[in-house]
């Protein structure tokens, strides 16, 4: 094992009817004036009403804030900060998936630092030194933001999508009722499956050696998601599948699947440009670039891909390179089997794009030259990024 630090302070309340504890958990962590960030689906399903009743039962004041969109927008978060300050909020509650949770994290930062424009944190011009406490009621198994220290925002003015990691972003609690995912559109379910896998794969493909326990956790999680993802795709109301995916989403991004390792996250950075410039759903942006990234990067460490082939896909016949290539094919075919795009022509918001557009995305991915490369498994410089995009542009 390699040296590491592990910090995952979020209290998990998991299972059927878990949302009934929301009000009690807010009070447990000191909330008395709660600013609730949520999406529209929880209103339609009645989940919001059930959750609000638990808050009212504890005598906690609250204000609702709705309208979060996928690829969470800076403008919405900045406006929500103003509303939360006016309400004198002392606790932020997110009811939704990753976009809602990430927005709530931005609001928590903004309320605690009213003299700082929140985008300054995401541009690393300012450092977060305080934030309001956050709680989560999870409705989508995907981003893992309910246990992570990270959040992403999209700046619509300059088409930049950036992430920010700080332990101030770790929620105090996360309430998880897998039944909340039953009413999701299947596309959101499958985008979530991809996101869970990518949060693990972007840690698994590493230059770090001798991390068998961490590798084993990652491999087991991937096998579990692949198996139960197939079930959820055909039957979203299968409780066993929904519950396994929900817990996997949290474990995939609370750092446990990459402890002690140098992480990669190049596919995430590549995918962010699809979301920023074309508003592609996060999970779809990842599946659209992963196969091209893998084909471009696998020769960096063929034995690593061969290990992935053997331990995740049970592919064992052939040389290391043969089964490494077979594992890439198996992953891409799995994405196709759950109707996720595996290249640009399959992305409904994009299609095949021009050479000029490819170059623009490559420039954006390096922050227009402000960062030299992305990735840790195989460092991708600007021309490498362009080449990966070109492979995907079919």
DSSP string, 71-102: S-BHHHHHHHHHHHHHHT-SEEEEEESHHHHH
Looking at the structure, tell me whether residues 283 and 139 fall in a common domain.
Answer: no
**51 is a domain residue:** yes
Looking at the structure, tell me whether residues 207 and 300 fall in a common domain.
Answer: yes
Separation between Cα atoms, residue 369 and residue 345, nearest integer Å: 28
**50 is a domain residue:** yes
Among 163, 180, 197, identify where a domain stops: 180
- Are the beta carbons of 373 and 202 closer than 8 angstroms? no
**1 is a domain residue:** no
Looking at the structure, tell me whether residues 386 and 270 fall in a common domain.
Answer: yes
Nearest-CA neighbor of 145 among 122, 128, 169?
Answer: 169
Nearest-CA neighbor of 50 among 95, 92, 97?
Answer: 95
Among 160, 180, 200, identify where a domain stops: 180
Mean pLDDT of 304-318: 98
Whether residue 1 has pLDDT greater than 90 = no
Looking at the structure, tell me whether residues 48 and 149 fall in a common domain.
Answer: yes
Looking at the structure, tell me whether residues 17 and 138 fall in a common domain.
Answer: yes
pLDDT per residue as tens digits for the range 132-189: 999 999 999 999 999 999 999 999 999 999 999 999 999 999 999 999 999 999 999 9
pLDDT per residue as tens digits for the range 268-301: 999 999 999 999 999 999 999 999 999 999 999 9
Separation between Cα atoms, residue 271 and residue 71, nearest integer Å: 11
Do the strands 373-374 and 134-138 form a parallel or antiparallel pair, or are they unpaired? unpaired
State both tokens at 147.
């246990």
Separation between Cα atoms, residue 154 and residue 329, nearest integer Å: 32
In the three-class reduction of DSSP (H, G, I as helix; E, B as strand; rest coil), residue 65 is classed as strand
Neighbours of 208 (CB within 10 A): 17
Separation between Cα atoms, residue 142 and residue 283, nearest integer Å: 8
**226 is a domain residue:** yes
Looking at the structure, tell me whether residues 350 and 306 fall in a common domain.
Answer: yes
pLDDT per residue as tens digits for the range 15-35: 999 999 999 999 999 999 999
What domain count does the chain have? 2
> What is the chain's mean pLDDT, rounded?
97
Split at pLDDT 50, 70, 90, the class of 124 is: confident
CATH number for position 225: 1.20.1090.10
Looking at the structure, tell me whether residues 268 and 285 fall in a common domain.
Answer: yes
Cα-Cα-Cα-Cα torsion 6, 10, 15, 18, nearest 10 degrees, comes to 180
**2 is a domain residue:** no
Among 180, 202, 220, identify where a domain stops: 180
**Rg of the chain, C-alpha, whole Å:** 20
pLDDT per residue as tens digits for the range 79-107: 999 999 999 999 999 999 999 999 999 99
Looking at the structure, tell me whether residues 268 and 123 fall in a common domain.
Answer: no
Q: Return the H-helix or E-strand segment holding 160.
A: strand 160-165
Separation between Cα atoms, residue 228 and residue 226, nearest integer Å: 6
DSSP β-bridge partners for residue 135: 93, 173
Q: Is 301 exposed, middle or buried (0-12, 13-18, 19+ CB in 10 A)?
A: middle
Separation between Cα atoms, residue 99 and residue 122, nearest integer Å: 15
**4 is a domain residue:** no
Separation between Cα atoms, residue 259 and residue 237, nearest integer Å: 33
pLDDT per residue as tens digits for the range 209-226: 999 999 999 999 999 999
Looking at the structure, tell me whether residues 109 and 195 fall in a common domain.
Answer: no
Helices (H), the chain: 22-28, 41-45, 47-57, 74-87, 98-112, 118-122, 186-204, 212-234, 239-252, 266-278, 282-297, 302-313, 320-337, 355-365, 382-392
Look up the pTM and report it. Answer: 0.95
Looking at the structure, tell me whether residues 296 and 203 fall in a common domain.
Answer: yes
Domain that holds residue 273: 186-392
Looking at the structure, tell me whether residues 264 and 140 fall in a common domain.
Answer: no
CATH number for position 73: 3.40.50.1970
Mean pLDDT of 186-197: 98
Looking at the structure, tell me whether residues 135 and 223 fall in a common domain.
Answer: no
């Amino acid at each position: 094992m390699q040296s590491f630090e592990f910090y995952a302070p979020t209290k998990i309340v998991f299972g059927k009817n878990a949302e009934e504890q929301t009000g009690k958990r807010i009070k447990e962590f000191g909330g008395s004036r709660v600013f609730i960030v949520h999406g529209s689906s929880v209103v339609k399903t009645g989940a919001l009403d059930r959750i609000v009743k638990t808050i009212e039962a504890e005598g906690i004041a609250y204000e609702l804030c709705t309208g979060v969109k996928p690829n969470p927008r800076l403008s919405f978060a900045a406006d929500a900060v103003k509303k939360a300050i006016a309400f004198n909020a002392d606790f932020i509650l997110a009811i939704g998936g990753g976009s809602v949770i990430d927005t709530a994290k931005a609001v928590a930062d903004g309320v605690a630092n009213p003299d700082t424009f929140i985008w300054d944190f995401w541009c690393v011009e300012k450092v977060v030194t305080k934030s309001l406490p956050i709680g989560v009621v999870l409705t989508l198994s995907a981003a893992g933001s309910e246990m992570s220290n990270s959040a992403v925002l999209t700046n619509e003015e300059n088409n930049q999508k950036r992430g920010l990691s700080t332990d101030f972003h770790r929620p105090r609690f996360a309430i998880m009722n897998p039944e909340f995912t039953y009413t999701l559109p299947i596309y959101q379910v499958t985008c979530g499956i991809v996101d869970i896998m990518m949060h693990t794969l972007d840690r698994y493909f590493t230059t770090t050696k001798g991390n068998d326990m961490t590798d084993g956790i990652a491999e087991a999680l991937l096998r579990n998601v692949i198996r139960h993802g197939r079930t959820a795709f055909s039957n979203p109301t299968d409780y066993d599948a929904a519950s396994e995916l929900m817990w996997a989403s949290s474990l995939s991004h609370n750092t446990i699947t990459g402890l002690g390792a140098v992480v990669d996250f190049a596919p995430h950075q590549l995918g962010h440009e699809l979301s920023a410039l074309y508003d592609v759903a996060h999970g779809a942006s990842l599946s659209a670039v992963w196969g091209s990234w893998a084909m471009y990067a696998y020769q960096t460490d063929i034995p690593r891909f061969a290990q992935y082939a053997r331990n995740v896909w049970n592919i064992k016949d052939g040389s290391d390179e043969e089964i490494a290539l077979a594992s890439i094919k198996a992953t891409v075919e799995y994405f196709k089997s759950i109707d996720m795009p595996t290249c640009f022509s399959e992305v409904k918001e994009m299609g095949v794009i021009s050479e000029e557009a490819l170059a623009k995305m490559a420039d954006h991915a390096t922050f227009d030259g402000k960062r030299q490369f992305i990735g840790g498994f195989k460092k991708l410089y600007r021309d490498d990024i362009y080449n990966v995009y070109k492979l995907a542009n079919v």
